[in-house]
Chain A
Amino acid sequence: MENLDMINSSAIKYYFSLQLKRFSRKAADYEIPTIVLVVLILAAFILASVFLFYKSPMAKWIYPFAGAYATQYFSDKQVQSIFTTKQSFILNLVSKLLIATPFMGFLIYKMEWLSLVILFLLTIIMAFVPQGRNVNFKVPTPFRSRPFEFIIGFRRSYIFVLLAYFLIFKGIQVGNENLAFASFSFLFLLSMSYFFIPENEYFVWINSKTPHQFLMVKIKTAIINVSVLTILPSLVLLIFYTTLWYVVPIIYAVGYLYLITIILGKYAAFPNEISIPQSIIILISMICPPIMIFTLPSFYKRAIQKLNPILAC
C-alpha cells in the first residue's frame, strides 16, 4: 500500500513536470524564452485586472466568477481517464488552486476579502466536479439550429450561466445593481471563451462559402446566440433599473464588439490557437477600443488570408 502511494505521488509529480515541459515547448514554438512568456502572461493578466477594477465598479463581483471559470476552463480534461479517482481529485484540486492563485493574489492586493473568500470556495467546489467524465447526459441548449460553438460552450459552462442568472436576480433582490450588471457582463465573457479553441480545419472546409461570407455567418450567429443567452436578464434589468437604462445597451455594444474581435482574432490565427502575442494584441484592443480601428481590419485581413486556402480551393 505504501509502495502504491509512492507510485501515486511520483505520477502526480511527473504530471506537473510534464505540464511545465509542455509550457516550455509552447514558448519555444513562439521562439521566446519560457521566463519571458511567463512575464508576458503575468503582465497581460495584471493589465487586464487593473483595467477591470479601474473601469468597472462591478469588478469585485465579476472577478471571482471569472477566476472560477478560468479554473474550470483551463483544467486538463484527460486527468480522469489517466489517473485513479484519488489521484485525479488531488490533481484537479492542485491545478485549480494554481490557476486561481493569480486571481487570489490580485484580490489580496485589492483587499477585496469577500471576493477572495467567494473565489476560494468556488475553486474548492469546482475541484469536486469531475473533469471529462464520459457521461451521456445531454444538456439541452437553445442553440440547436445553429451549431456549434455555443452548443459546445454552453454545455461546458452551463453551471456558470445558471450561476450568472441566479446572481442577476439575487443582485436585483438585494438592491445591488453592481452585482446584477456584473453577472450580466459575465455572460458576454463566457460567450467569448467559446471561441478560444479552433475547430479542426475539416469543419471549416465543409462550408461552401467564401472566407468573407464564412466570417460574416460566424459573427451573425454569435451575435444572435449571445442575444438569446442574454435577452431575458437584459429585459429584467431594464424593468428593475429604469434610471440606469443606458447600462444594458452599453454592455451589449461592448460585448458585441469584443465578440467580433475574438472571432476575427481566432480565424486570424487559424488553424492554430490564438497565440500569446495575438492574445496580448486582442487584450490591448479591448482595453483601448480606439485601437480596434487598426486591429479589427488587420485581424479581418489576416483571417481572410488564413481561410482562403481552405475555403477557396
Chain B
Amino acid sequence: MLEIIDIKKSFGKKEVLKGISLTFEKGNVYGIVGKNGAGKTTLFRGIAGLETCHGKLNSEFDILKNHLGFLPTNPIFMSKITGWEYLKLFSLARNVKEDDFEEQNIFELPLSDYAEHYSTGMKKKLALMAILLQQNDIYILDEPFNGVDIQSNLIINDIIQKLKNLGKIVIISSHIFSTLADNCDQIHLLREGIIVKSAEKAEFQSVEDEMITDIIGDKTSNLRLK
C-alpha cells in the first residue's frame, strides 16, 4: 500500500498542490486526470521524490523510490547512447543483471540505434521498457499513451493489466479519458492542486462529464462560430 497524506507544494507564491491525500492499494490501477497545470506532474514527481513536497508518504518500503518506476511525460535521453545502452543503464541502476533485451523488446525498437534519434513514440516505449525491466513494485506513468501508435497503445493497455494482476500499484495520468476508463479501478480528478472528485468504475462517466465541463465549459461559444 502507498499512502500520501496532505501533500503540498509551492513554487514561489504559487501553490501547485494544496494538500492531497490518497491511498493506493496493491493490484489496483489509479488514474489522475485534470487539465494542464492542474498539478498532475508535480504530484507524480513529489511521490517519486524528484520534487521536495510537504506532507507524508507511507509505504511498506524503507526507501520508496528504490521500488518505484517513473515514466516522465517527456522521457529524458542522453546524447550518443543507444537504446540497448539506455536499457542496460536502467537495469544496472536497480542491480538487475540483464544483457539480452531482444526477447523483451516487444515494441520492436531499433536498440542498436542512438535513442536520441528515436521518434517521440519510440522514446516513450523505450523509457517504459526501461522501467519495466527494473521489476518495480509501483509504477507512475505520466501520459504513457502520448505520441504512441495505436498498436503500441494496445500493448501498453495489456502491460498495465499484467502489472495489476501481478499485484503492482499503477498510477497513470492521461488526457485520453477512454484509456483511463479502460484500465483504472479508480480515477481522481485534480483541479488547481486539489482532488475534487474520486470515482470508482461505475462513476467514471460522471468524472468524464465533470472533466468536460471543467475543460471546455462555455469557452467555444467565445469563438462566435457561424
Contacts and interface: CB of A to CB of B under 8 A. Distances in A.
Contacts of A156: 80
B114 interface: yes
Interface of B: 48-50, 52, 63-66, 70, 72, 76, 78-82, 84-86, 88-90, 92-95, 99, 112-114, 117, 134
A205 B92 contact: no
Given A205-B48, A310-B49, A313-B49, A148 B63 contact: no
B113 A202 contact: no
Interface in A175-218: 199-203, 205-209
B85 A151 contact: yes
A170 interface: no
Contacts of B65: 205, 208, 311, 313
Contacts of A139: 80
A200 B76 CA distance: 8
Interface of A: 134, 136, 138-139, 144-148, 151-152, 155-156, 199-203, 205-209, 309-313
Contacts of B84: 144
A151 B76 contact: no
Contact of B117 (A134, A146, A151, A313): A134
B85 A208 contact: no
Contact of B50 (A202, A209, A312): A202
B159 to A, nearest CB: 19
B94 A206 contact: yes
A138 B89 contact: no
Given A147-B85, A156-B80, A208-B63, 6 more contacts: A136-B114, A138-B82, A145-B88, A147-B92, A206-B90, A208-B95
Point out which of A138, A147, A199, A202 has the most chain B C-beta atoms below 10 A from its C-beta: A147
A311 B50 CA distance: 9
Given A136-B113, A152-B79, A156-B80, A312 B63 contact: yes
Nearest to A156: B80
Contact of A208 (B66, B99, B112): B66
A313 B92 contact: no
Nearest to A149: B78
Nearest to B85: A147
Nearest to A208: B66
Contacts of B76: 200, 202-203
A311 B88 CA distance: 19
A145 B97 CA distance: 11
Contacts of A207: 93-94
A309 B89 contact: no
A148 B78 CA distance: 9
A62 to B, nearest CB: 26
Contacts of B117: 134, 136
